Structure 1
Amino acid sequence: MTCRICNTPSNESFQVKVLFKYDVTYYRCHECGFIQTEPPYWLSEAYESAITSLDIGLVSRNLHWAPTVEAIIRKWFRPQGPFLDYGGGYGLFVRMMRDRGFPFIRLDQYCENLFAKHFDATDQPADTTYELVTAFEVFEHLPDPVAAVEQMLKAGKSILFTTKILPNPNVTPETWWYFIPETGQHVALYSLESLHRLARQFGLQLHSDGQDLHLMTTHTVNPTWFRWFTDSRKASLYNYFHRYPTRSLLDDDFQKVYDSVRKQPLKDLI
């Protein structure tokens, strides 16, 4: 098996039962530390429900990261955007960021758009260039990380994302919950070195808090500020003193959706 990050040989590390029925082999790269499954033939079954019943942290995760993302945008990017939330799920994060005044757009091929209808990538011109691409809890789902990052970078030149870093080289599903083989969706687990190598393939620098939050970009980023913003309370304080000139898009969005749905049959409104 070849490492999907650095193309060096990966060795069989362990085998675990995925979706309670498939014996799946996991491989570890001794060059970059990346852990990957064998080719994930079970994904169509794993995504019969895009958001699994185990993802009970979805709402709290969005609440936690919204002020951090706002602060990072205010510090290093143009608040006017636009911004793309890749793998945006139900659209909750997009709605939250638009409420904060940032024109986020949702993209997700698996999940129904519940909270950001009319603000989906399918509603935008195909050649739209985004100021920043966000991808929260997406990278661990990618069977081909290099191809996925290449696709993201066609939309925007910087990627802000979350995925948990492997706590040690010898971690297994018995010692680390993040594998979650029961759902069958986490097929890629990253060391910090593997993310650095992934970024360098595209001429980008990786900035990371070493645990959850990571930024691939060509922008000059002060690591102290970046780590400071990962604390949502500190990020909220920064946002309070830098809250202008953005204002909530809620009223404008309501008018746009209202004007749109008035032209549709009643059945399309519910």
Structure 2
Amino acid sequence: MSSNATVVTLKHAIPCKVCSAEATLCGVVDFNKSCEERRGKLLALSGVPIYYHRCGSCGLVFTSSFDHWSRSDFSAHIYNDAYVEIDPDYVDVRPSGTAPAIVDFVRNASGLKLLDYGGGNGKLAMLLREAGIDARSWDPMDAHGESAPPRAAFDLVTAFEVFEHTPEPLATAEQALGALKEGGVLVFSTLTIDEPPSRTLDHWYIAPRNGHITIHTARSLDALFGSLGYQLRHFNAGLHMAFRELPAWLPG
């Protein structure tokens, strides 16, 4: 890793990024640890240690190593041409598998406007448009796009595999929720790990090379969205919905 990006070694205990309770060091991994290790793909060690903290209250696992990185740092070292090697599903498999579920989810809605927040290459929004949904994509890492999504413009915001990538969970949640119209809902995926990871942090989802730098529990998500006035429905460990009130078009 060679740039002006700075990896910071932090104190043993720091405030949690979600609930501000004490978070203590829980382990260290090499920067090149990726999600593809679960499929047997091992990258060469980078020699750059990434330390993670765990909150004693809400259970959030996070690293502060990337807190001062710029968008260009992330583009150079994480979301670069080699990213597809450690997340091959993001190009087509994930959006193609997700689109039919979203179409079914909004089947009772009329004139719904949808924003795919953190939409990457825009494939999901394109597939939804082909299915007749007024959908657009916005990604905070898109250097050529708008600086922020339109506020209060959408009935549904989706955010698939986004919240584990942000070093600023509160700011990201505020931005995604800020795009909702009154009564809108946010549907998002991020894998919650409710059992404390071992000191070796051997769970496949804790993967800095993938940009997985903020790993939630159900409690941390409840605390995060609750602080912004939203309730959460956890469909399972990976899929969640934030809302203030449930819209009439939502399937029963």
Shorter-chain TM-score tier:
0.7 to 0.9
Contact 1:89 1:112 (8 Å CA) reproduced: no
Question: d(CA) in 1 for partners of 2:122 and 2:157?
Answer: 14
- Where does residue 135 of structure 2 map in the other structure? 104
Q: 1:173 to 1:72 in 2, by over 3 A?
A: farther
Contact 2:197 2:203 (8 Å CA) reproduced: no
The one of 195, 202, 215 equivalent to 1:168 is 195
Structure 1 residue 72, shift from structure 2 partner: 2.2
Contact 1:83 1:133 (8 Å CA) reproduced: yes
- CA deviation vs aligned residue, 1:110-133 (integer Å, no higher than 9, x gap): 2489xxxxxxx74x9945611111
Question: d(CA) in 2 for partners of 1:210 and 1:24?
Answer: 29
Q: 1:8 to 1:70 in 2, by over 3 A?
A: same
How many residue pairs match? The answer is 214
Question: d(CA) in 2 for partners of 1:147 and 1:125?
Answer: 13
- CA deviation vs aligned residue, 1:23-73 (integer Å, no higher than 9, x gap): 121000010010000241565332344944211122222222222222222
Q: 1:198 to 1:187 in 2, by over 3 A?
A: same
Q: 1:197 to 1:16 in 2, by over 3 A?
A: same
Structure 1 residue 22, shift from structure 2 partner: 1.8
Structure 1 residue 170, shift from structure 2 partner: 2.6
Question: d(CA) in 2 for partners of 1:51 and 1:82?
Answer: 30
Structure 1: 5+ residue runs without aligned partners?
114-120, 227-270
The amino acid that maps onto 1:57 is: D
Identical residues among aligned pairs (%): 28
3-state SS, counterpart of residue 246 of structure 2: coil
Q: 1:128 to 1:18 in 2, by over 3 A?
A: same
Question: d(CA) in 1 for partners of 2:136 and 2:237?
Answer: 26
- Where does residue 180 of structure 1 map in the other structure? 207
Greater percentage in strand: 2
- Structure with higher Rg: it is 1
- Where does residue 216 of structure 1 map in the other structure? 242
- Where does residue 55 of structure 2 map in the other structure? 29
The one of 56, 80, 90 equivalent to 2:121 is 90
The one of 3, 15, 20 equivalent to 1:2 is 15
Structure 2: 5+ residue runs without aligned partners?
1-13, 33-45
- Report runs of 4+ in structure 1 exceeding 4 Å deviation: 124-128, 171-174
- Taking structure 1 as the reference length, the TM-score comes to 0.70
- Where does residue 69 of structure 1 map in the other structure? 102
Q: 1:127 to 1:189 in 2, by over 3 A?
A: closer
Q: 1:196 to 1:128 in 2, by over 3 A?
A: closer
- Where does residue 54 of structure 1 map in the other structure? 86
Contact 1:27 1:37 (8 Å CA) reproduced: yes
Structure 1 residue 137, shift from structure 2 partner: 0.6
- CA deviation vs aligned residue, 1:191-245 (integer Å, no higher than 9, x gap): 0111111111111110112311111012338xxx68xxxxxxxxxxxxxxxxxxx
The amino acid that maps onto 1:198 is: L
Q: 1:125 to 1:65 in 2, by over 3 A?
A: closer
